[in-house]
Structure formats: C-alpha cells, structure tokens
Amino acid sequence: MIEPRDDLTLGKLSLTYRILFTGFLLVMGLGLLMAGAQIMLTHGMADGKPGLSMNDIVYSYYGNRSGSKMEAALTGAMKTKAPEAVNFTLIQWVRDDAPVAEWDKVGPLLEKHCASCHDEESGLLEVAKLDVAKNLAEIDHGASIASLTRVSHIHLFGIGFIFLFVGWIFGMAEFNQLWKLILIATPFAFLVLDIASWWLTKFWPGFAWLTMIGGIGYSLASTVMFATSLAQMWLPRWTKK
C-alpha cells in the first residue's frame, strides 16, 4: 500500500477511485450492520429478552451457572418453539441429570421440535443427538476456551483489515490532523479492548461492561470516518472543480 501525497485529498480523487472507495465503504458499512444484527439475534437473546444487556454478555461468555444452556434456551429464546408440555418434559430431563435411560422419550421430542433448524446444514448444534443434548444439559459455563480462541483470531484478522483500509481512505480526508490521528487509532484500540473483554468476562463477569465500551467505541469512530470520507468524495463543497 502506497502512502498518498499530502496534497491528494478525497475530493481530488479521480472518478475511478471515488467509485472504488465508495463501493468498499458501503459494503463494509453494510457488513458491520449485519454483524450488529447478528449480535442482537444471538448474544442479545442470551437472557431470553430482546436487546443487548449486561446479562446477555455475562451469559454468553461467563455462562448462567445457575442452570444449563438447554434450560436457559427452553425458558428464554426457544420457549415458543415447542408446546409448554414439551418444554416441561425437556427441562425435567435436564434437571434429572439427563439420564440416558430416558432418551427414548426425550430424543423424539428434540427431533420433532428442534432438528428442523438444528441440523448439519445450519451450522447449529444438532441437539437431537444424545451426546450434544447431554453436553447442553450440563451447567452453563459460557463460551469455551476453544471457541473464544477461534472467534478472537477471526475478529482480530478480519476486522483489523477493515479498519486498515477504512483508515487509509480516511487518511486522505481534509480533517483536523490531531483528531484524524485519534480517529484512525481508535478502532484498533477498542477492537483489542473488545476482544480482551470477552476473555476477562469468561473468568470475571464484572468485566462485561468493557464489551459494551469496546463495541460502542469502534462503532462511533468508524461511523465518523465512513461519513466523512463519503461526504468529501461526493459533496460539491469538497470535490474539485
């Protein structure tokens, strides 16, 4: 990547590069919105209530150690997916330490009410399998070390590259130099804070608030860079005559 000249601003770019950078920013912006929606639909329902809360973050990473993941799902996000009598039977099985002897009764219920979504193609846990169901019936200790490691490196590599290119484009904006440097650095700092908060919350639930700060921090900085870059590439005040 070549550093742009000091006199090359977004408004002076050729139409080719303005279209290229605009397409990238719009697609990345849409991707970040979809990521936010995915968080609301997964972590945001961890406590069974719509909207992301501190409890959602704690349940996702530290776990709900007063019960199992299966019971938490059956009394929360998955409560309406099966009749009340079925939920009662499944919860009772969980509270009885998930005896294998009763699988002939429990297995068909999971197959009927859950397997249509929780199948191999969906990528979700196949809850109609005995080993999976018994694992979900254990006390909920939140995200595993293996899953945290996998998700952490994916986010650090993937989102890090997004911020690299967004910052490179924003680097050509006409903006106060000190604030420009702060805005370019902020998403990287808050991304590291966000990832670190997952690990801290895994062991100490009181750190859940750091996850909120991390996500809000890099979202705000990115929004300013996205909006400023697009405005200076296309609004008459900024474009060359």
Kindly report the backbone phi and psi dihedral angles of residue 97, in degrees, each rounded to the nearest multiple of 5, phi listed first.
70, 30
Kindly state the average pLDDT of the residues 65-92.
Answer: 83
CA–CA distance from 198 to each of 60, 193, 206 (Å)? Answer: 9, 9, 11
SS (H, E, C) 119-160: CCCCCCCCCCCHHHHHHHCCECCCCCHHHHHHHHHHHHHHHH
Kindly state the average pLDDT of the residues 54-58.
Answer: 84
What digits encode the pLDDT tens for the residues 219-240? 999 999 999 999 999 998 777 6
Yes or no: say if 81 and 114 are a contact pair by the CB < 8 Å rule: yes
Q: Which carries the bigger pLDDT value, residue 74 or residue 184? A: 184
The span from the CA of 201 to the CA of 208, in Å, is 5
**Is the pLDDT assigned to residue 5 strictly greater than 60?**
no
Per-residue pLDDT at 240: 62
Helices marked H in 42-83? 54-61, 69-74
Per-domain residue ranges of the chain: 10-44+144-234, 66-136
**Is the pLDDT assigned to residue 114 strictly greater than 70?**
yes
SS (H, E, C) 41-53: HCHHHCCCCCCCC
**Is the pLDDT assigned to residue 70 strictly greater than 90?**
no
**Is the pLDDT assigned to residue 3 strictly greater than 70?**
no
What digits encode the pLDDT tens for the residues 193-211? 999 999 999 999 989 999 9
Instruction: For residue 158, give both structure tokens.
Output: 């993937």
Q: Indicate the pLDDT class of residue 17, thresholds 50, 70 and 90.
A: very high
Yes or no: say if 180 and 170 are a contact pair by the CB < 8 Å rule: yes
Q: Indicate the pLDDT class of residue 44, thresholds 50, 70 and 90.
A: low
Per-residue pLDDT at 7: 66
What digits encode the pLDDT tens for the residues 152-183? 999 999 999 999 999 999 999 999 999 999 99
Per-residue pLDDT at 145: 92
Instruction: For residue 149, give both structure tokens.
Output: 């490691």
Q: Which carries the bigger pLDDT value, residue 19 or residue 116? A: 19
Yes or no: say if 169 and 229 are a contact pair by the CB < 8 Å rule: yes
Per-residue pLDDT at 124: 78
Percent of the chain with pLDDT over 90: 42
pTM given for the model = 0.71
